[in-house]
Structure 1
Amino acid sequence: MASNLVQLLLEQSQQRRDLVIGTVDDQIRLVDALEIAAGAAGELTAQGVDRRGRVALVASNSTEYLIAWMSCMLAGVPVALVNRSYPPDLLATMLDRLEPAAVITDREEVDFAEKRRVLPLHTVRSARPSNPQALPGAAATESDIASFMHTSGTTGVPKFCAQTHGYFLRLGRDMAAGLGLTSTDRMLAPLPLFHINPLGYGLIGALSVGADALTVDRFSARGFWPMVKEHRITALVLHAPPVEILKRVTTGVDADGHEVRTMFYADAEFMSRFGISRAVSGYGSTEAAGLSHLHRWELGDEIPLDCGRYGLPRVDIEDRIDESGQIHIRERRQNVLFAGYYDNEIIDPSIDADGWFATGDLGRRAADGTLIFIERAAESIRVKGEFVPIPFVEGQLGTITALRDLALWKRPGEIIDEEIVLYVVADPVPMEAIREVSAGLPAFMRPAHVAQVRSIPRDAAAGKVQRRLLHDQELLSWAALTW
C-alpha cells in the first residue's frame, strides 16, 4: 500500500495505463501527466525550490493545475492551494505568512513580490517529459507535509491548514469505500481544486482505486447534465450550493440518460428527481480529517431533510460534544487530522493536552449515535435558548419557487433573544408563501423579519453565504412577520 501520494500516483499509472485525469475538455493519461510533471519538478529543483521551501499555486482549475500540483508532489515540495479570486491585498497578506519560494499562477496582473519566483502556469505543460520514478517526493513519509489548504476566512484572514500525505491517503480510501468506487468509474469533481471536496474526496478518492479523475474549468448548472452524459460520468463530488442550484434550474428530463450511480452529497429530493441510487453524506472540515464522519444513503431510504450533515465517525476518529454543543475531534492514529495551522514557519496543531481538536462547530447526537452538524458556532443563531438549525430552515423556505436566493441571519432582539432575519432575492417578495411555510416550523425557527436585497453575498468559489456581510447589503424592502 502506498505510503505517500507520489507512490499512489505512480502505482495507479502503471496498473491502469489508460487512466485519465484533467478537465473534461482536456483529458490526459495519468502516465503522460506524470512524465510532464516530472520535467516541471526538475525545473523547480534546478531553481533551488526544495522540500525545505513551499510553493503557492494560485490558479483556476485546469489540466495544467493538476500537472503543477503533481510536479510539487514529485519534487517533495509542499504546495499551498490558494483561491485565485481573492483581491491582491489579501493574497499578499496570506503569502507573506506562507513565505513561498515560488508562486505558480495564471494571474498576470498581480505582483507577487520580487523575493518570490513567479512561474506562469501554462509553462508547466511545456516541460520536457522525464522519468517520475526517482524524484524526491517518492521518498516522502506519511507524516511529511504534502500541501496547505486555507480556511474560508469568515472571521479573519484565511488560515493555512497543513496536510500530510497520510491525511490524504486515508481520506481518499475512506471516501472511495463510502462511494463504492471501482477502477471502472469516472469521477467528476466540478469545484475549485483549492477545496478539500474536489481534491480530497473527488480526485484522490478516485485515484485511490484507479478510477478516472476529472474536473471542470468552471461550473455551469445549465451545461452540467449534458456534460455528465457526454463524458459518461458515474460518480460525482459536489457540495450544498451546487446541489441546490441544480435543483432550482435543472429537471429530471435534463438528466435523463446519465450514468451516475454514486455521489457526495445529495438529499432525498436530488436523488429522487435525478435518479441517483447512492449518496454519501458527512461531516468534517479541512482541519477535522477532511471528512471525519460519513453516512451512506440508498434511493428509497427514509432520508431526513438535513441528511447532508449526518455521519458516523471513521474508524480512525473519535468525537465528543461538550456542554456548549461544540464538536471535538481526536485521531485514533497519526496523520488523520490536519497537522496544524501554518504561520511563518510554525505549525500549531491546535489540540489540547489530550489530543482533542475543538472544531468550532455545533452538533447533536442522533439516537443511533450518528453525529449531526448544526452550524458554525461563530455563525449560530440562538432563540429562546435553542440553536436555530440554519440549513434546515433555509431548506424549508427554499421550497418557495419565487425566491431566487435566500439566507438566514440574525439581529439583536428588543429584550434578550436574537431575532431571525430572512434575506431574500425576489421580486415581488412572496410574503404569504413565506408566512405559510414558516408557520409549519417550531416558533423559535420562524423569521421575525424579511429583508429584500439585490443579491446574497457568497464566497466566489465555494458558494457559501457570507453571513457577516448580509447586514451591509442595500435593503430594497423590510417587513416584519408577526405570529
Structure 2
Amino acid sequence: MPSIADRLHLHATTRPDAIALRTLEEAITYGELASRSCAYSHLLRAAGIGAGDRVLLVAPTVPEFAIAYLATQYLGAIAITMNPMAVAPEIGYVLDDSDATAAVVWHETRTATEQAASRRALPVLRLAPGVGTESGTPATAPVQRRDDDTAVLLYTSGTTGAPKGVQLTVANLLDTARIFSTQLRLTPDERFGTGLPLFHVFGQAAGLLTALHTGCSLSLLSPFQPRAMLELIREHRLTMVSGVPTMWNAMLHDAVDFGPDDLRSLKLAASGGAALPGEVIRAFTQRFGCTILEGYGLTESSSAGTYNPLDREQRVGSVGIPLPGTALEIRDPDGTVLPSDAVGEIFLRGPGIMKGYWNRPEATAADLVDGWLRTGDLGRVDADGYVYIVDRAKDLIIRGGYNVYPSEVEDVLYRHPDILEAAVIGVPDERYGEEVAALVVAAPGSAPDPDALRRWAKERLSAYKVPHRFAFVGELPKGATGKILKRAIDPARFPELSARADHS
C-alpha cells in the first residue's frame, strides 16, 4: 500500500540532514521537508480535507509548492496543480469540474484563485515563505493508498473540447520516478536542478518526484531566467539540469561570460516538451562540454515515453528509445502497426499511462485503446528503434514549453462582439519557438484593433495563451462541411504574423 510521500518519509528517517530542496537563498533538509509537509497536512485536515478529496494547488516553482503538494499526499488527497498565470474563469472551470474541496495558492498570485474560490464558497489557504515551520509538528507516516488510486489531477484539453482532468495514479508517478532515476543513473549524491514549472507534469514527475525517489537534492529557480539558471548551476555545482528547448537556447545566447569551467560539474542536461533544434544541441555541447539528451512524453503518460539512453549513441533529432517497461508502436489510421521509418500515429503503453480522464468515460475510451494511449502525435521509428517526432498533435502550439490549445483560445475570441470567425495557429518565433497567432474575420461594420484584442484576451486567458499576432482576413478556408481548414492556411501570406510583437 504505497504513497507518493513514502520516499520522502524514508529519507527523512534515514538521512534527515541530507539536503532535499535548495534555492539561491535557502536549503531545506529531508527532515525539515517531511516535518513541514506533515505540519501543512494538519492545516489541510483542519480545513476539512481528507483522503480522496481534490485540492487545487496554484503556486510557482518554489519549495512551498513541494510542501503543499506532499501535504496532500500525506492525507491521501488528490492534488490538482495549476499554472499561477491562470485567470479566474480558468480556475473556476477546474474547481467546478473536479468538485474541489479547497484551494491552496501562493501569496503573490492569489487574486484570481481567491476570486474563483469565493464565488463557490470554497476555503482558500495561502502559501508563503516559511509555511509549515510554525507548529514544528513531527513527521508521521503518510496515509497508505492503493496503486490505482488517483494521486494527481492535471488539466489538459488535448487539441479539442474543454479541458480534461488527467488522472495520474500513485503507481503511475512512483513508477515514473523510479524509471527516470534508474535511466539517468542518479545517486543520492546528485545535485539536480530545474527552472521548470512544478505544476506541469515534466517538472513534477521527471523533476521533483524523481529527485525525491533518488534522495538527492533539487535546486529550484523561479522564475526562469537564463543567466540566473547559469549562476545556479555554477553556485550549486549542479550535476544534472532539466528544461525545455527555449531554456537551453536562452542560456546559450545569454552565456556571454560563461564557459566550460563554469559548468564543469554538469554531467547531464535533459530536454523535453518540444523538439530541440540540432544546432542548439551541438552549440551547447561545444560551448559547455555537456550533452543535452532529449526525451518524449505527455501528461497522459506521466511525462514518460522515450529517452536517449546514456549507454547508446545519441542521434540528434531523435527523442531516443522507449523507456524500460514502455512499448511504442506507430500505427496507420486503421490501427495497423507500421514498419520501420513509416510515419503514423504514436501509441504508447507502459507504467506511466494514465488511469483515464476525470469523469470523461467517452474521452477515456477514445484515447485508451486496450491499454494503449493514442497520443495524436505523428512519428516514425528507425531500424535501430530510435523514435522521431514528425509532427505534434494536430494544431497544438508549444510556446516556450507551454502547451497552448487553439480551440480554447478560439472559444474566447469568439466571445468578442467584433469577431465573426477566428482561427488560432502557431507561427515560428525566435524567442519562444512558436508564437500564438490569430487570423480573424471581423464582424460586419467593425474594425477590431490588435492591441485592444490582446488586452481583452489577457483578461480571460493566461498570458502565454493570448494571441500576440493578428491578421485580419475576409474569409477563412473551409471544407465541404463548413469546417475551417487550418492546414490550408499559409502564414507566409500574412506578413503581420511574422512581425515581432510585444511578448508581455
Q: In structure 2, give the amino acid aligned to 1:129.
A: G
Aligned residues of 1:202 and 1:236 also touching (Cα < 8 A): no
For structure 1, list consecutive stretches of 5 or more residues without a partner in the other structure.
381-389, 395-408, 410-419, 427-452
Residue 286 of structure 1 corresponds to: 299
Structure 1 residue 127: Cα displacement:
4.3
Match of 2:348 among 329, 351, 354: 329
CA distance in 2, matches of 1:422, 1:314: 32
Residue 228 of structure 1 corresponds to: 233
Match of 1:275 among 280, 286, 289: 289
CA distance in 2, matches of 1:281, 1:464: 27
CA distance in 1, matches of 2:429, 2:73: 44
1:38-437 aligned at under 5 Å gives the runs 38-106=38-106, 107-110=109-112, 111=115, 112-113=117-118, 114-122=120-128, 124-136=131-143, 139-151=144-156, 155-251=160-256, 253-254=258-259, 256-258=261-263, 259-265=265-271, 267-276=281-290, 278-296=291-309, 303-307=314-318, 310-324=319-333, 325-331=344-350, 335-343=351-359, 348=364, 350-352=366-368, 354-379=370-395, 423=428
Q: Which secondary structure does the structure 1 equivalent of 2:309 belong to?
A: strand
Aligned residues of 1:99 and 1:344 also touching (Cα < 8 A): no
Aligned residues of 2:61 and 2:195 also touching (Cα < 8 A): no
Residue 436 of structure 1 corresponds to: none
CA distance in 1, matches of 2:328, 2:84: 34
Q: Which secondary structure does the structure 2 equivalent of 1:245 belong to?
A: helix
CA distance in 1, matches of 2:496, 2:362: 48
Map Cα deviations across residues 88-121 of structure 1 (whole Å, 9 max, x no partner): 1122122211121010002332212342111111
CA distance in 2, matches of 1:103, 1:164: 21
Q: Which secondary structure does the structure 2 equivalent of 1:287 belong to?
A: helix
In the superposition, relative to structure 1, how do residues 349 and 176 fare at CA in structure 2: closer, same or farther (>3 Å)? farther
Q: Which secondary structure does the structure 2 equivalent of 1:173 belong to?
A: helix
Q: In structure 2, give the amino acid aligned to 1:284.
A: G
Structure 1 residue 212: Cα displacement:
0.5
Residue 31 of structure 1 corresponds to: 31
In the superposition, relative to structure 1, how do residues 178 and 134 fare at CA in structure 2: closer, same or farther (>3 Å)? closer
CA distance in 2, matches of 1:303, 1:171: 22
> Given the two structures, how large is their TM-score scaled by the length of structure 1?
0.74
Structure 1 residue 126: Cα displacement:
4.6
Aligned residues of 1:279 and 1:297 also touching (Cα < 8 A): no
Q: Which secondary structure does the structure 1 equivalent of 2:39 belong to?
A: helix
Map Cα deviations across residues 300-337 of structure 1 (whole Å, 9 max, x no partner): x9754423xx2211232212111141111123xxx531
CA distance in 1, matches of 2:464, 2:330: 25
Q: In structure 1, give the amino acid aligned to 2:5.
A: V
Moved over 6 A (4+): 344-347, 463-466
Q: In structure 2, give the amino acid aligned to 1:272.
A: Q
Structure 1 residue 279: Cα displacement:
4.1
CA distance in 2, matches of 1:378, 1:253: 39
In the superposition, relative to structure 1, how do residues 347 and 249 fare at CA in structure 2: closer, same or farther (>3 Å)? same
**Paired residue total:** 400
Q: Which secondary structure does the structure 1 equivalent of 2:380 belong to?
A: strand
Q: In structure 2, give the amino acid aligned to 1:99.
A: D
Aligned residues of 2:471 and 2:497 also touching (Cα < 8 A): no
Bigger CA drift: 351-360 or 42-51?
Answer: 351-360
Structure 1 residue 19: Cα displacement:
2.6
Q: In structure 2, give the amino acid aligned to 1:11.
A: L
Aligned residues of 2:78 and 2:150 also touching (Cα < 8 A): yes
CA distance in 2, matches of 1:473, 1:243: 31
Aligned residues of 2:194 and 2:207 also touching (Cα < 8 A): yes
Q: Which secondary structure does the structure 1 equivalent of 2:394 belong to?
A: helix
Aligned residues of 1:20 and 1:27 also touching (Cα < 8 A): yes
Residue 6 of structure 1 corresponds to: 5
Q: Which secondary structure does the structure 2 equivalent of 1:39 belong to?
A: helix
Q: Which secondary structure does the structure 2 equivalent of 1:217 belong to?
A: coil
Residue 340 of structure 2 corresponds to: none
- Match status 1:16 vs 2:15: yes
Structure 1 residue 273: Cα displacement:
1.7
Map Cα deviations across residues 344-376 of structure 1 (whole Å, 9 max, x no partner): 899946555522221111111112122212222
Residue 487 of structure 2 corresponds to: none
For structure 2, list consecutive stretches of 5 or more residues without a partner in the other structure.
334-343, 400-405, 407-424, 432-449, 473-493, 499-504
In the superposition, relative to structure 1, how do residues 31 and 421 fare at CA in structure 2: closer, same or farther (>3 Å)? closer
Q: In structure 2, give the amino acid aligned to 1:12.
A: H
Q: Which secondary structure does the structure 2 equivalent of 1:161 belong to?
A: strand
Structure 1 residue 192: Cα displacement:
1.0
CA distance in 2, matches of 1:244, 1:70: 32
CA distance in 2, matches of 1:209, 1:163: 20
Q: In structure 1, give the amino acid aligned to 2:389.
A: F
RMSD: 3.5
Residue 417 of structure 1 corresponds to: none
Map Cα deviations across residues 207-261 of structure 1 (whole Å, 9 max, x no partner): 2221112211211112221221111111111112211222232247355322111
Q: In structure 2, give the amino acid aligned to 1:67.
A: I
